[in-house]
Amino acid sequence: MMTFFFFGRYSSQALKNASAIRTRKAEHIVGRYRGKVKAMYALLGEHDLVLIIDLPSVEDAVKVSTGLASLTGISFTTFPAISVDQFDKIISEV
């Protein structure tokens, strides 16, 4: 599994339609692509929320990102992430 950070920005319409029900539907989209939501946080600042999601592949991340945007109206910027231990191992080979 790969870890992805999904940073979201609300449109005014997306904010109006926010609800616990929509959150559960979003989690269902993640599960449809064999993913697992590790955490969800509301933010203040440049981004309105961040989702931390484990998914099998980059292709699945694209599907989840577009599926979530379609469901919620939230625009997402998605970043793959690796642990610092993985990073240290990779750079030790350079």
Cα dihedral 34, 51, 62, 90, rounded to 10, equals -90
Contact residues for 10 (Cβ-Cβ < 8 A; gap 6+): 18, 48, 49, 73, 74
Query: What are residue 42's DSSP bridge partners?
Result: 49
Tell me the pLDDT tens digit for each residue of 36-85: 999 999 999 999 999 999 999 999 999 999 999 999 999 999 999 999 99
CATH of 2-92, one of 3.50.50.60, 3.30.70.600, 3.40.50.150, 3.90.550.10: 3.30.70.600
Q: What is the pTM of this model?
A: 0.90
pLDDT per position as a tens digit, 54-66: 999 999 999 999 9
Question: Domain ranges in the chain?
Answer: 2-92
pLDDT at 32: 97
